[in-house]
Structure 1
Amino acid sequence: MSKQAFVAEDLFRMRFVGHPVLAPSGQEFLFVQTHIDEEENGYQATIEKFTGQAVVSFTRREGKGNVRDSAPAWSPDGKQIAFLSNRSGKNQVWLDGKSEPLTDLPQGVSSFVWAPDGKGLYLVAKEVTAEPQFRKGATVRRITKLRYKANGTGYLDGYPTQLWYLDLASKDVQRLTSGDYNCSQPAVSPCGRYLAFVSNRAEDQLKTLNDIWLLDLKTKQLRNLTGGLGSSGSPRWLPDGQHLVYVGHQKGIYPGGYPELRQIDLASGENINLMPNFPNYLDNSIGGDTRFDNGNTGPKPTADGQQIYFVATVGGSSYLFCLDYTTGAVSKVFGEGQMVITSFDVQAGQLVVNVATPSTPGDLWWGPLGGELKQITSLNRELFQDKYIGWPEVVHFTHPDGAQLEGWLIKPLGYVEGDTYPLVMEIHGGPHTTFGNAFFHEWQMLAGHGFAVLYTNPRGSLGYGEEFARSVVGDWCGIDAEDLQFMAEEAAKLPWVDKARIGVTGGSQGGYFTNWLISHTNMFAAAVTQRSMSNLYSKYGVADNGWNGDRYGMGGRDLWDDEDFIMERSPMRYARNVKTPTLIIHSDQDYRCPLEQGEQWYVALKRLGVTVEMLLFHGENHELSRSGRPANRIVRLEGILDWFQRYLG
């Protein structure tokens, strides 16, 4: 039977798994299953339970609306299950078997953890404080902070995120932290007396680093454990209650820097790197456009503290690793070849992992640590079995300066040796992210409609060592853009690639590179630039990360001292060179790469007589391609395909 091409509307038929959590026994686990509701133009998520024999529903959809259940968590004794749900409006904590939520906080609950004795929950939620009062009917906001908006949130309401304790018996909720600071990622000590959490409590708003803090729940004393020396997050207790491990470093503001697995001795304050020779990037940095998984990627100490498990990115794949706490030896526990582990859990000698590959968005595997795992879910098997899924072929490039670069090629549906085909080069954002061995609906759709797809990891990408990642700091659209053009030119030499029909597309930093490439070479016959950057000088002042992330990425160069260099690395300066037919895709609530970046590029190209159109999505933000309204995601995919069919077909 001949295979069919993926189409944009197949998104409605896909199912996604994420956030697997093992019971204390290790013999059962919970996970979140997400699907897209075409009628509601939104997302539905339920919690499912694997009993050791079969998957059964733990929560069910009730009525209409975009109800999403998430973040399931077993009580320490395994007898109760708490989870988050927006079924009553905002996200609140629910307990299994209850018809009403445990919490009713005005701004909802963003996350929670169980107390070690199972008698309560520690919550992360906003503290509603008094708002400034203006004249009745006025629509005004007083802004006093440097960071006043955030992509996906909008203009910040000014309410600080605090930590709270919910007593399950009395239902009383007690606020534990105070002040105009945000707190997150609580971790309770085994004895229940101490609460570690993440917060930036610096008075200087230009200081953006988070620290690990320790709250003594008995004396209420606060202690900064990391001292603002570098990025810090994901605190986890070792069972002795005297040591914390976390992910971070002590390198200050350090774009592209690799986080380390570090340990804090609470008695002495000593802070050490537990794996000084580990070369890989901690966490999974590989993106995808069909993923709904915010589960654990580590660190996860075992109950006896002898092992610490974590996910790390190796080139275009990510695998599960283990640190032997006694010997310091690090070993790979699970993963081989072209795959991406997006989350995992370990309990009582059992392991569950969510494994994505180029041919599946992700499925759950379960079994004994060190033994053979069994595939538990295969939610997309029926849909995918009749679809053309081009398996990416790994391609290695040697840059003229000797740098080793990695990419992948997907051949089109119906490929015949001796024929030639149009090719689309896809460019990732970041710049400190990674393309790799994950399923991309967009790429497979293009391949199914006759386009070869090339995707690569230029310098600046994660997964190839810290030096590789940091080589672009202060040199955006320098060596990274050279890498991209070089790899596109090398691919154009392949006998089956039609070098007159090569297109380019990318989003965010990938859109920035797209704009740069079409203003520096005419090798591309069509371009789709998405949520892009065109003028770094103006972006410094309008993006939620412009004054910090972009400035640090540009090596600290600032508006008043380095105006010429900032404009030199802005595609806008070279707009007069563009001849490539260009489609601009942007959203009006994108605060990461604000709409004005796309508008500037559109107006410039239009004035200069370039063939250009814009798809402007209302009510969407920077995450349109990954979590936007489904109808808009479909229109976006169809727009990309249509543009390349028009100019490369």
Structure 2
Amino acid sequence: MEKLLVSDLLKFTFLSGISISPDGRFLGYVVHKMDSEENKYISNIWIYDMKDGKNFQLTSFGQESNFIWLDNETLLFPGVRNEKDKKRKENGEIFTSFYKIKVNGGEATKAFEVPYIVRRIKKLDNDRFILLAMYDRRIPDFSKIDEKEKQEVLKKLKEEKDYEVLDEIPFWFNGVGFTNKKRERLYIYFQKENKLEPITDELTSVSHFDISKDKKSILYISNRYSDKMEIRSDLNIYYFEGKRFETLTHKEPFNYIYAYFLGDSIIFAGTDMKKFGINENPKFYMLNPLTKDVKLLTPNFDLSVWNSVGSDVRYGSSINAKVDGKYLYFITTEWNSSYLNRIDENGKIEKLTKKGGSIDGFDVKEGKIFFIGLKDYKLQELYKLDLNEEEKQITTFNEWVITKKHISKPERFTFLAGDGTELEGWIIKPINFDASKKYPAILDIHGGPKTVYGEVFFHEMQVWANEGYVVMFTNPRGSDGRGSKFADIRGKYGRIDYDDLMKFVEEVLRRYPFVDENRLGVTGGSYGGFMTNWIIGHTDKFKAAVSQRSIANWISKFGTTDIGYYFVEDQHAATPWSDFEKLWWHSPMKYADRVKTPTLFIHSDEDYRCWLAEGIQMFTSLKYFGIDSKLVIFKGENHNLSRGGKPKHRIRRLQEITSWFNKYLR
């Protein structure tokens, strides 16, 4: 067996976009790999033929990151494949070209083009498509103007690149950039006429849509705003006949997660946020579109309906809910794992997967289920779920990691918090472990805070185990998977969660005498970065720290980040005007004069979730007080650096962290 290296990340395969063909014979999915020389990701469509059980690569252009099925043997995907279109893109022209390709091979041919950046597309019939596209009021429909006008617009847009004019909040969004007066807008595209017709208006942003089985209407979730986006959404239906809209929601604030047609009714998941705020778990409801009567299906349901199990070996996106037959299939996170479930119109829920791990995406057709999973401490593979609940692995893209590399599996234990609440935690022993030796240890704190750690492959943790470290991680109060009350730490940041983390470290030291209490490190990103900043201001237990994409000052976060103005108020029940002192009390920067721990700060200059100013403030504070510290800024990266950053940047990040710990703990 070989040592697992930081650079092995470059060899991993990531899977996403799983989708079954209309006739149920083929399974399409996207395979992503890293190109370290070009410092980018290579994405291609693969096919699994259920008839002969074979997997094969369909495309090879390296840009096919998503697709839909046009018919039983034809796929449609976005791409830029000819030199003319590449030059248009380079010149700043906005458009999305779609290509189609047969499953049995052959060259992809251009199907059509629309003058917007398309986020999602669904086929309505042989002529019409429903698009969710990014609308920017500054940019005209290029298909409706001549070449001279187009060049004039492009010239003006280039001149405007030096300016951003803002008149609403939020005005930027992590991973997207500046979003002022930009909206995710619904359109109908008529292929034969090459005509695009908007459904929603210029100020409405759509987050989700579903097409009725009879193809007569669209169900969609939206939020309309002009100056300030409120945390609420509306459920609407659009009828093609007569181009008629109908709002299905009440006037009180409600957060819709998703909604689907189920039989003659509509099933949706959502919450009024009254008891636990924006992090409150949703419930399922059934709505009659004719009478607008709403029935609560799951009064006692208290789980998130998405996968929040953390890992750094994913890339791309997949669905987390779908209707098939008389059921809505959906994902939940429970304790340390995510599972696939289904619910019927009466609210009966069945858990379809029993084994722990992570469901990273799935598709179902006439009861036939396939999913992308992190199972048995392997990296992502495709699985088939049989009716007897057995999970059959059908790919081996990443099998080499398990068979050739040293992997140390986590050891789980439970312990009691100070108030008697049962908590769970893990340690990962170093490779070639010797119980007679003392080892340095790293406490790794997850983001969120409403996410979880579980028993899935985590590259950075395995690298540290291969470097001779014990890795410690836990799910303190604030984490997902155990209901809204457990996750609710509003007004308690740095208190109950800090106590849980410190209790966990004490428990590790008590249970495992080979952990050297004089060589402890701590790290985390996002909320984990906040907690790292908080910890070093409240204890000298740790001899080195690495704070990633962190929060230092809740007052500055309120006024600068994409979610700041509503997240801070919700999570602290305070604004800079209503309770300035409370926000400052919960800010790690307040305690920077107490810090003795050498700290590395890692931040990205396009991180609008935890803006660069947060890292700079904490770094400056520590330098001011003479603490050994360093700030590494990654240009062109955002909040998702560790999960979806450029390959070389992800390698450099982990090298910087590991070197910092080696300097102080080895």
Q: Same fold (TM over 0.5)?
A: yes
**Aligned-pair CA distance for 1:55:** 4.0
Instruction: State yes or no: 1:323 paired with 2:343.
Output: yes
Of the structure 1 ranges 21-30 and 429-438, higher mean CA displacement relative to structure 2 is found in: 21-30
Whether 2:45 is the aligned partner of 1:51: answer no
| Cα deviation digits, residues 463-483 of structure 1 (max 9, x gap) | 01111011x012211211111
How far is the alpha carbon of 1:371 from its aligned partner? 5.3
Matched, 1:415 2:438: no
Whether contact under 8 Å (2:11, 2:34) holds in the other structure is yes
Indicate conservation of the 8 Å contact 1:427/1:456, yes or no. Answer: yes
Aligned residue in 2 for 1:107 = 116
1:234 alignment partner AA: Y
Amino acid corresponding to residue 120 of structure 1 in structure 2: R
Q: Is the 8 A contact 1:352 1:364 kept in 2?
A: yes
Q: In structure 2, what is the Cα distance between the partners aligned to 1:255 and 1:420?
A: 44
Aligned to 1:395: 413
Q: Which whole-Å CA distance do the structure 2 matches of 1:169 and 1:137 have between them?
A: 35
Residue pair 1:26, 1:351 contacting (<8 A) in 2 also: no
Change (3 A) 1:358 1:155: farther
* Residue number in structure 2 paired with 1:559: 576
1:632 aligned to 649, 652, 666, which one?
649
| Contact map agreement 1:33 1:48 (CA 8 A) in 2 | yes
C-alpha distance in 1 between matches for 2:298 and 2:45 = 36
Aligned to 1:281: 304
Q: Which SS does the other structure have where 2:370 is aligned?
A: strand
Of stretches 521-530 and 184-193 in structure 1, the one that deviates more from structure 2 is: 184-193
Equivalent position amino acid for 1:163 in 2: L
| TM-score, normalised via structure 2 length | 0.90
Letter in 1 for 2:341: F
Q: Offset of 1:94 from its aligned partner? A: 2.6
SS of the aligned residue for 2:397 comes to coil
| Structure 1 residue 186 displacement after superposition | 2.1
Matched, 1:69 2:64: yes
Listed one character per residue, the Cα deviations across residues 244-263 of structure 1 (whole Å, up to 9, x for unaligned) are 11221233582320022222
Match of 2:540 in 1: 522
Match of 1:199 in 2: 222
Match of 1:130 in 2: 138
Shift of residue 128, structure 1, vs aligned partner = 4.2
Deviation at 1:23, TM superposition (A): 2.1
Give yes or no for contact 1:27–1:350 (8 Å, CA) kept in 2: no
Deviates most, 96-105 or 505-514:
96-105
Within 5 Å, give how 1:215-364 maps onto structure 2. Answer: 215-227=238-250, 228-240=252-264, 243-251=265-273, 254-298=277-321, 300-303=322-325, 305=326, 307-326=327-346, 328-336=347-355, 338-357=356-375, 359-364=377-382
> Quick one: distance in 1 between partners of 2:385 and 2:528?
39
1:27 to partner: Cα distance:
3.2
Corresponding residue of 1:645: 662
Q: Structure 1 pair 365/473, CA: closer, same or farther in 2 (3 Å)?
A: same
| Alpha-carbon contact 1:333-1:370 (below 8 Å) kept | no
Distance 1:93 1:239, change over 3 A: farther
Q: CA deviation at 1:561?
A: 1.8
Matches for 1:569-584 after TM superposition, within 5 Å: 569-584=586-601
**What is the distance in 1 between the residues matched to 2:504 and 2:201?**
52
Q: 1:533 aligns with which of 551, 576, 597?
A: 551
- Matched-pair contact (CA < 8 Å) for 1:91–1:110: no
Which of 117, 123, 128 is the matching residue for 1:120?
128
Conserved? CA contact 1:92–1:108, under 8 Å: no
Q: Map 1:434-513; keep pairs closer than 5 Å.
A: 434-470=452-488, 472-493=489-510, 494-513=512-531
1:186 to 1:58, Cα distance in 2 relative to 1, 3 A: farther
User: Counterpart in 1 of 2:445?
Assistant: 427
Contact 2:441-2:519 at 8 Å conserved across structures:
yes
Instruction: Check whether the contact 1:358–1:392 (CA below 8 A) recurs between aligned residues.
Output: no
Structure 1 residue 513: deviation in Å? 0.3
Distance 1:12 1:178, change over 3 A: same
AA matched with 1:333 = L
Q: Using the alignment, how far apart are the partners of 2:55 and 2:390 within structure 1?
A: 23
Q: Distance in 1 between matches of 2:428 and 2:11?
A: 23
Q: What is the CA–CA distance in structure 2 between the aligned matches of 1:137 and 1:47, rounded to whole Å?
A: 37
Asked if the contact 1:26–1:349 (Cα under 8 Å) also holds between the matched residues in 2, the reply is no
SS class of match (1:365): strand
Give the length in aligned residue pairs. Answer: 632
Match of 1:210 in 2: 233
- 1:162 lines up with 2:185 in the alignment: yes
Do the aligned partners of residues 578 and 249 (structure 1) sit closer, same or farther apart at CA in structure 2, a change above 3 Å counting?
same
Change (3 A) 1:181 1:644: same
Distance 1:372 1:570, change over 3 A: closer
Kept in 1: contact 2:273–2:279 (CA 8 A): no
Q: What residue in structure 2 maps to residue 382 of structure 1?
A: 400
1:95 aligns with 2:100: yes
Give me the whole-angstrom Cα distance separating, in 1, the residues matched to 2:342 and 2:285.
14
Contact 2:210 2:260 in 1 (8 A): yes
Match of 1:611 in 2: 628
CA positional deviation for 1:612: 0.7
Residue in structure 2 matching 1:81, options 69, 75, 85: 75
- For 2:311 and 2:632, locate their aligned partners in 1 and report how far apart those are by CA, in whole Å: 22
Runs of 4+ in 1 over 6 A off after TM superposition: 131-138
| 1:139 partner SS | coil
2:366 & 2:23 partners in 1: Cα distance?
Answer: 6
Kindly, what percent of the aligned residue pairs are identical? 31
3-state SS of 2:8 partner? helix
Q: CA deviation at 1:497?
A: 0.8
Q: Would you say the 8 A contact 1:18–1:293 is kept in 2?
A: yes
Contact 1:212–1:233, Cα closer than 8 Å, also in 2: no
Displacement of 1:279 in angstroms is: 3.5
Contact 2:167–2:227, Cα closer than 8 Å, also in 1: no
Give yes or no for contact 1:293–1:342 (8 Å, CA) kept in 2. Answer: no
Distance 1:363 1:134, change over 3 A: closer
1:284-315 deviations in whole A, cap 9, x for unaligned?
A: 111211112421221x2222x2x222111110
Letter of the 2:29 counterpart:
F
Q: 1:632 to 1:315 in 2, by over 3 A?
A: same
Alignment-mate amino acid for residue 128 of structure 2: G
* In structure 1, distance between residues paired with 2:157 and 2:67: 42
Shift of the alpha carbon at 1:99? 4.1
- The secondary structure found in structure 1 opposite 2:208 is strand
C-alpha deviation, 1:640, in angstroms: 0.9
**Which letter maps to 1:42?**
K
Query: Take 1:22 and 1:60, find their aligned partners in 2: how far apart are those partners?
Result: 17
Partners of 2:121 and 2:129 within 8 A in 1:
yes
Report the more deviating stretch, 441-450 or 46-55: 46-55
Deviations 1:75-134 (A, max 9, x none): 4x534322333555565433225744434333321101121x444221111234336979
Deviation at 1:185, TM superposition (A): 2.1
CA drift of 1:373 comes to 4.0
Farther-moved stretch of structure 1 (573-582 vs 89-98): 89-98
Alpha carbons 1:4, 1:448 under 8 Å: kept: no
Structure 1 contact 193–216 (Cα < 8 Å) conserved: yes
